[in-house]
């Protein structure tokens, strides 16, 4: 009976194509942030092969029946690291400077993407930074991570929705290997636990929403 039931379910399961309504032609979806079964935020990439930087996003509030696209207004030399949606109104856009190779920042909307503003200007993610990951547990508590800067992984926490950020102390983060860095959008969160991986085949883990960290090697050798 269970096998018959599984077979019936497998045959009934389908995928439905949805139009993102991205304005530029040949737009792909770089990152998907699902808030719930109705609210989803996505960001784009240039699928033409031309390597253009993109600042486009799209949002649905009805499970994808309709998508509304727009742009965050980030600098033209910036490209997406990832997008994270908190609810239908609030989302965070993380960028790196794809032209210079370092620099970047975080933008936030609180009105469904109609307006975006950069957070922590002059206090987080300076010209030597490379932002990788951002995550929020609710509308107030969040964490952001970038490649090592000034000798250790650049990580911040916020408790006021991104209005102010506190850098995680170097003493709370195991030392990075020479040349080690994170990867845009590569992370996972379950409860208070965070994991992110590096190109050296290692995984950093926090059990307290990013305040303290441990690291272990996976034993995987990442090709040059």
DSSP string, 30-61: EEEEESSSS-EEEEEEETTSS-----EEEEES
Contacts of 103 (CB under 8 A, 6+ apart): 96, 97, 125, 126, 127, 128, 129, 130
- Reported confidence tier of residue 123, pLDDT bands at 50, 70, 90: very high
**pLDDT tens track for 26-49:** 999 999 999 999 999 999 999 999
63: left (phi over 0), alpha (psi -120 to 50) or beta: left
- Reported confidence tier of residue 224, pLDDT bands at 50, 70, 90: low
**pLDDT tens track for 152-163:** 999 999 999 999
Query: What's the mean pLDDT when you consider all of the chain?
Result: 94
Sequence-distant contacts of 75-80: CB under 8 A, at least 24 apart: 77/53, 78/53, 78/104, 78/105, 79/45, 79/53, 79/54, 79/55, 80/30, 80/31, 80/43, 80/44, 80/45, 80/54, 80/55, 80/184
Whole-number Å distance between alpha carbons of 103 and 28? 24
pTM: 0.92
Res 94: pLDDT:
98
Per-residue pLDDT, averaged over 17-23, amounts to 94
Res 221: pLDDT:
82
Q: Helix, strand, coil % (nearest 5) of the chain?
A: 5, 40, 50
Res 10: pLDDT:
56
5 pLDDT more than 70: no
**pLDDT tens track for 54-73:** 999 999 999 999 999 999 99
**pLDDT tens track for 203-219:** 999 999 999 999 999 99
Res 222: pLDDT:
77
140 pLDDT more than 80: yes
Res 2: pLDDT:
47
122 pLDDT more than 80: yes
Buried b (16+ CB within 10 A) or exposed e, 182-211: bebbbbebeeeebebbbbbebbbebeebbe
């Amino acid at each position: 009976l269970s096998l018959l039931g599984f077979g019936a379910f497998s045959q009934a399961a389908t995928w439905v194509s949805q139009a993102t309504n991205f304005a530029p032609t040949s737009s792909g979806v770089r990152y998907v942030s699902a808030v719930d079964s109705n609210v989803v935020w996505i960001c784009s990439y240039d699928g033409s092969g031309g390597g253009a930087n993109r600042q486009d996003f799209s949002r649905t509030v009805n499970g994808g029946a309709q998508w509304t696209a727009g742009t965050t207004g980030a600098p033209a030399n910036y490209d997406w690291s990832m997008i994270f949606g908190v609810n239908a109104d609030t989302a965070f856009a993380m960028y790196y400077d794809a032209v210079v190779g370092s620099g970047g920042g975080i933008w936030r909307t609180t009105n469904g993407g109609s307006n975006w503003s950069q957070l922590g200007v002059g206090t987080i993610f300076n010209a030597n930074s490379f932002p990788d990951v951002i995550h929020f547990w609710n509308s107030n508590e969040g964490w952001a991570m970038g490649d090592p800067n000034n000798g250790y992984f650049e990580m911040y926490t916020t408790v006021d929705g991104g209005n102010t950020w506190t850098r995680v102390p170097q003493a709370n983060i195991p030392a990075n290997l020479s040349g080690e860095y994170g990867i845009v959008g590569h992370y996972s969160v379950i409860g208070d636990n965070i994991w992110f991986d590096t190109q050296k085949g290692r995984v950093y883990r926090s059990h307290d929403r990013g305040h303290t960290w441990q690291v272990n090697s996976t034993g995987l050798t990442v090709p040059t």
